[in-house]
């Protein structure tokens, strides 16, 4: 009995020490920048702690004489978001804005109500905590559509800086799938096609976003305040077309106001930034009048020029054991590799290679077995369409890969409009996928490029076999992706959003532009927009790294008082 009491004393003592350690760890490691209530005023107020907002908060607070407030509607992501392959599990959770598009006329016919789901990160790091960490700076030709001073050459210094800070790396040269794609692509180079290993922004097997690379290195600065779980409800205009500050709503429902001495910078993203402008009275007068919003400044381009890539997934079965399966992910050995040694499948994003020709291309994801319950809901697919497109819906061990084909420079343009004058009501999102006929032809070229790789000798050696869906609305006699009628039918039914939206606060010099070439909102002093909404046209690839470069350059504009 005495021994038992002694043992329990040791256990109790250990628990007390552990509890104290955890409390001390939390107290002494809690960033000093995180606050509950803001000061009355700051030099700079940044709205949104996403990819761009994290960069700006870090860069602008480098000057100890400048005070910076970063306001974020969400809180902090948990450790699960650091696992590269875990991104889909976070969709539709409390860290996701969980937007949906309006019903689409020209696409999304295999989805419930013809609506695409658009996950957007809500919390410190934003969508950089939900994405698949794929890296791209696009190609030089993309930027010929951007205004003067924003060429690929102009951005090179920022691209180099971002590459270093974000730990950009290419897939290992000994990766079997990447080598198979590159080897197979050699014979198509003379046709103008280009095949390269995929690049990502992982760091030691964990997610590495602008939150990690920028915000965390700055969030113990006394001149930086970070206000989480707080929604910006309105931009407040002062006198002489100068921004006064912002109105905010705290998590408990109370409201407040914060003054901006120099600038308010919107970094809410392609959806939230134009919505906030419009509910604040800045946007097309017709749209504002519809919701009885007082017009502060008419800017016709707010919410217009919306674009996104639409992916067409092609499933390829393999015999070679080089891919990621559900069974492998759930195995004890995989879990031990990750949690003990920081190695294995869970330290990758699964993206292996990229192929491009002109404005079309594909990306290879090394996984074919799927979780029907999770992925069907993420894509908003109807059951019969999902099962036809994703044949491994009930097979957790099937080796294979997914080729996500796409048109990288779509011509279709949609818009974001208001459903009410309340910032709490999600806006109407209409990307108008495939409205322009050229986007079908462009998408089909991406499919054909992928087919050439699948049919190559290199892929035959891996036992590659393309799956062709049997969709009741697509003629079975033409059940062949090389047939344009069949491929168009499948693309319009099964094409899925790539989550690369941009363009709704267009940068430029024309009448349709919202911001000038220094990202200042036209006709308003002290208001800037720095996020993907200012992109005049799409990037041929994943836009996240370009957004970071854009934010770096914007910080230089702001720090240089002449801009």
**Cβ 500 vs Cβ 514: under 8 Å:** no
Give exposure, 469-507, as e/b (b: 16+ Cβ within 10 Å).
bebeebeeeeeebeeeebbbbbbbbbbbbbbbbbbbbbb
What stretch of H or E contains 233?
strand 231-237
Q: Which two tokens stand for residue 435?
A: 């409205």
Per-residue confidence (pLDDT) for residue 172, from 0 to 100: 82
**Percentage of residues of the chain with pLDDT beyond 70:** 94
Q: Which two tokens stand for residue 509?
A: 């010099």
Per-residue confidence (pLDDT) for residue 563, from 0 to 100: 61
Q: How many CB atoms lie within 10 A of CB 140?
A: 13
**Cβ 464 vs Cβ 316: under 8 Å:** yes
Per-residue confidence (pLDDT) for residue 85, from 0 to 100: 87
Instruction: Give pTM, 2 decimals.
Output: 0.93
Per-residue confidence (pLDDT) for residue 339, from 0 to 100: 84
Per-residue confidence (pLDDT) for residue 29, from 0 to 100: 63
Per-residue confidence (pLDDT) for residue 475, from 0 to 100: 79
Q: Kindly provide the residue ranges of all beta strands, DSSP E only, lying in 326-446, ordered along the sequence.
A: 351-357, 360-365, 400-407, 415-417, 428-430
71 backbone φψ class: left, alpha, beta (φ>0; ψ -120 to 50): beta
Per-residue confidence (pLDDT) for residue 561, from 0 to 100: 65
How many angstroms separate the CA atoms of 187 and 147, rounded? 36
Which residue ranges in the chain fall short of pLDDT 50? 1-28
């Amino acid at each position: 009995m005495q021994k038992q009491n002694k043992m329990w004393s040791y256990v109790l003592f250990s628990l007390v020490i552990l509890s104290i350690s955890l409390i001390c760890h939390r107290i002494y490691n809690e960033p000093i920048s995180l606050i509950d209530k803001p000061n009355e005023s700051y030099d700079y107020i940044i709205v949104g702690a996403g990819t761009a907002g994290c960069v700006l908060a870090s860069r602008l607070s480098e000057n100890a004489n400048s005070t910076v407030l970063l306001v974020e509607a969400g809180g902090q992501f948990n450790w699960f978001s650091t696992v590269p392959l875990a991104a889909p599990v976070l969709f539709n959770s409390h860290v996701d804005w969980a937007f949906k598009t309006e019903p689409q006329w020209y696409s999304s016919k295999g989805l419930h109500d013809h609506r695409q789901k658009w996950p957007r990160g809500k919390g410190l790091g934003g969508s950089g905590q939900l994405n698949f960490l794929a890296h791209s700076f696009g190609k030089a030709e993309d930027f010929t559509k951007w205004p003067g001073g924003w060429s690929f050459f102009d951005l090179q210094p920022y691209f180099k800086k971002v590459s270093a800070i974000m730990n950009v790396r290419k897939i290992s040269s000994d990766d079997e799938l990447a080598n198979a794609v590159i080897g197979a692509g050699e014979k198509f180079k003379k046709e103008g096609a280009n095949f390269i290993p995929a690049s990502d922004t992982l760091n030691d097997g964990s997610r590495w976003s602008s939150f990690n690379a920028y915000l965390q290195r700055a969030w113990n600065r006394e001149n930086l305040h970070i206000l989480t779980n707080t929604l910006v409800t309105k931009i407040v205009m002062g006198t002489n077309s100068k921004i006064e500050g912002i109105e905010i709503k705290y998590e408990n429902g109370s409201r407040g106001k914060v003054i901006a001495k120099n600038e308010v910078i919107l970094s809410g993203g392609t959806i939230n930034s134009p919505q906030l402008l419009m509910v604040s009275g800045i946007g097309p007068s017709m749209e504002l009048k519809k919701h009885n919003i007082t017009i502060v400044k008419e800017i016709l381009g707010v919410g217009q020029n919306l674009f996104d890539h639409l992916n067409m997934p092609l499933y390829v079965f393999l015999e070679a054991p080089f891919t990621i399966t559900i069974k492998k992910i759930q195995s004890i050995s995989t879990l031990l590799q990750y949690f003990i040694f920081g190695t294995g499948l869970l330290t990758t994003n699964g993206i292996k290679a990229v192929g491009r020709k002109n404005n079309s291309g594909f990306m290879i994801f090394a996984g074919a077995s799927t979780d029907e319950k999770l992925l069907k809901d993420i894509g908003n697919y109807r059951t019969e369409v999902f099962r036809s497109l994703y044949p491994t819906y009930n097979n957790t061990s099937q080796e294979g890969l997914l080729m996500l084909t796409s048109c990288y420079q779509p011509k279709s343009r949609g818009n974001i409009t208001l459903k009410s004058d309340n910032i709490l009501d999600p806006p109407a999102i209409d990307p108008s996928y495939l409205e322009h006929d050229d986007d079908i032809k462009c998408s089909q070229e991406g499919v054909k490029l992928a087919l050439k790789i699948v049919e190559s000798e290199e892929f035959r050696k891996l036992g590659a076999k393309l799956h062709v869906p049997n969709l009741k609305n697509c003629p079975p006699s033409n059940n062949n992706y090389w047939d344009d009628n069949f491929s168009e039918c499948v693309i319009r039914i099964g094409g899925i959003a790539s989550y690369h939206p941009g363009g709704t606060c267009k940068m430029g010099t024309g009448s349709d532009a919202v911001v000038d070439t220094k990202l200042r909102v036209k006709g308003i002093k002290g208001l800037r927009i720095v996020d993907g909404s200012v992109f005049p046209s799409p990037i041929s690839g994943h836009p996240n790294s370009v957004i970071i470069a854009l934010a770096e350059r914007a910080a230089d504009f702001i720090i240089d008082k002449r801009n």
